[in-house]
Amino acid sequence: MREVIKNIPLLNTGLPMRNLVVMDNDLIRASYRLTANEMRLILCALAQIPKGEPIDANQAYYISKEDFVKLGVNPKTVAREIREGCGDLLSRVVVIDTPLGELGFHWVDTAMHFKSEAIERLKKDYPNVKNDEEFINKLRLHNLLDSLPIIAKSDDNIVARIVFHRDILPYISELKKQFTKLNLDDVFGFSSFYSFRFYLMMMQFRETGYLKISLDDLRHSLGLEKKYKATRDFKLNVIDIAVDEINEKSPYDVSYDFTAKGRTYTHLELRFKKKKAEEKLIDSKRDPNTPDLFTHKTDKELAESNAIKQIKKPKKDDLEHQASKITGLIMSNQLISRFKQGDESTMQTMQRIRSEITSQEIAEQWLNKLRDFGVGV
């Protein structure tokens, strides 16, 4: 039986997720519609592709719970989120404009969500296998032999496996020019597919900080030709959602405006720039020690008063976002081993840390710990 295991190919062993995604500009502008979880799956797999190198058309990419947590997903719901992402991914199509017409193909060739009981069995039996040859042959039949060593060493985190469709490979690998780079840290906490798409389009014009696109082309890119035909509805249900989330969670400040032809809006203009470090500037023409005419407090006293108010009543959503940010930074900077307790798995450690962050003071203590490790927060 051990001979059967020895013959398992180890070529497609998966690659560690990195933070950089590179996509051809034609794919950035392409027409497709995904759910937020499907978008996360695609990005997690794209981040594993070696940059500027050829890849095997049969290469499988393994997505773990940790990968989704790095994107801001709550560890308590991460398994369900990945399962939902796998559900309809096989049917999703991307359409790219070419000189001869529109070219359509699927994102992935195969997609699998692993059963938890199957993973438990593999981890228990591998490599001292009681698996019979029939089991191994079934894996070989389904081209899944590469999954054995990966799942066996996965620390209970591997949840999904996808293989990209061969027609999409020219748009995601060996890119030398006309491509766009995305840092996954920038989209941490995004919950809307529209936010992901807007941000990718913005990154294509990162150098200029300006993007102008016709509303018809934007609807086409988002797969919304038949929805939100009224500009007011499109603004409320798509544009505002994306811009608000990007402003809140990304390193960029974004504003937008419409251009019109006659009385009809035709184009959307996005203007964006990197956020500056928040600084509380005091007017140089006034004495900061002079009490304000109406509040009778100095600038320092006002600042301290406002800070106390904010600390006293932290919003639950703010704390959850802070907890997600902290656990994401721990994962992306590979510091998880520093905070494990006993025999905790990675996910148990993440859940424990999130549960500990119950106040702004505790969140700040965690951020200080990360600063001590040289993490920029």
CATH number of the 190-274 domain: 1.10.10.10
What lies within 8 Å, CB to CB, of 186 at 6+ separation is 199, 250, 251, 252
According to the model, what pLDDT value does residue 75 have?
87
Spatial contact of 119 and 158, defined as CB atoms under 8 Å apart: yes
Integer CA distances (angstroms), 108 to 158, 219, 315, in order:
18, 23, 40
Please say if the pLDDT value at position 312 is more than 80.
no
Place of tokens 């027609």: 167
Average pLDDT score, the chain: 80
What is the Cα 48 distance to its own chain's centre?
A: 13
pLDDT score for 315 = 55
Contact yes or no for 110/147 (Cβ under 8 A): no
Higher pLDDT, 253 or 336: 253
Contact 192, 36 (CB under 8 A): yes
Q: Note the pLDDT tens digit of each residue in 141-183.
A: 777 767 766 666 666 577 889 999 999 999 999 888 889 999 9
| 205-214, 307-316, 351-360, range with greatest mean pLDDT | 205-214
* Topology match between the domains 2-177 and 190-274: yes
Q: Which fold has domain 2-177?
A: Arc Repressor Mutant, subunit A (1.10.10)
Q: Is the separation of the CB atoms in 111 and 90 below 8 Å?
A: yes
Q: For position 122, what pLDDT does the model report? A: 67
Find the length of the chain.
377
pLDDT at 335: 79
Give residue limits of the domains in the chain: 2-177, 190-274, 314-372
| 248-254, long-range: CB < 8 A, 24+ apart | 249/72, 249/187, 249/188, 249/189, 249/190, 249/195, 249/321, 250/186, 250/187, 250/190, 250/199, 251/186, 251/275, 252/186, 252/202, 254/202
DSSP lists the bridge partners of residue 111 as 162
pLDDT tens, residue by residue, 16-74 = 557 899 999 999 999 999 999 999 999 999 999 988 788 888 899 989 888 898 898 88
Token pair listed for 226: 């038949």
* Parallel/antiparallel/unpaired status of strands 61-64 and 158-164: antiparallel
Burial of 183 (0-12, 13-18, 19+ CB in 10 A): middle
pTM of the model: 0.71
